[in-house]
Structure 1
Amino acid sequence: MSEWTWDYNPSAEYLTAGLPPGVVAEVERLATELAAIGPDSTKVGRPFDREGGLREFDILNGRGFISFLPVPRHDCVYICHITWYG
């Protein structure tokens, strides 16, 4: 198990405003799983041809996606943007 954590960047209020509670719960579940895999989170999601940097991951069968930034020196995954198509 990893010592990594996750957080919203800039804030939970800003990123989740207006989203259905189920979407927020799914984002937080995925963020917890990304933190659990720790340094390997730099390889998850798009882009597929390189690791590190801002990553994207589909949520709820392609009905949206999250953009996240794994930062190894902080041992943290930051959720930076949530897109929900509804």
Structure 2
Amino acid sequence: MSWAWEYDPSMEYVAAGAPSALLKEVEKLADELVRAASAFYLDGTGYQGDGPKGQDALLPGGMFVYLIVPRHERLYIRQITAW
């Protein structure tokens, strides 16, 4: 398994109504966060500690809420808010 990000439960649900420019920024930052998580949790599938809490990421024009799950080697994008 290798680290990746995905929308949870689906892109249609999480990104509904968000401008495409914001979605591009969300996906760009998600890629960076996945790279950082893969370096921090070297063997994510074997991780035994407490999982990190969900976090907010602020971007120009909006924000998104994400959750890193080391044992799944995934970053889940849970909510996108545009302003």
Confirm or deny that 1:55 pairs with 2:82.
no
Higher Cα radius of gyration? 2
Secondary structure at 1:70 match in 2: strand
Per the TM alignment, residue 71 of structure 1 is displaced from its structure 2 partner at its CA by 0.3
Confirm or deny that 1:19 pairs with 2:34.
no
Question: Structure 1: which 4+ aligned runs deviate by more than 4 Å?
Answer: none
CA deviation vs aligned residue, 1:11-63 (integer Å, no higher than 9, x gap): 0011112111101111111111111112549xxxxxxxxx8111111111xx3
CA deviation vs aligned residue, 1:58-78 (integer Å, no higher than 9, x gap): 111xx3211100000011100
2:3 aligns with 4
Taking only aligned residues, the RMSD between alpha carbons, in angstroms, comes to 1.8
In 1, the alpha carbon distance for the partners of 2:56 and 2:80 equals 10
Q: What letter matches 1:72 in structure 2? A: P
Q: What letter matches 2:29 in structure 1? A: L
What is the identity percentage for the equivalent residue pairs of Structure 1 and Structure 2? 38
TM-score scaled by structure 2? 0.77
Structure with the greater relative contact order (CA < 8 A, sep ≥ 6): 1 or 2?
A: 2
Unaligned runs of 5+ in 1: 42-50
2:80 aligns with 82
TM-score scaled by structure 1? 0.75
Secondary structure at 1:81 match in 2: strand
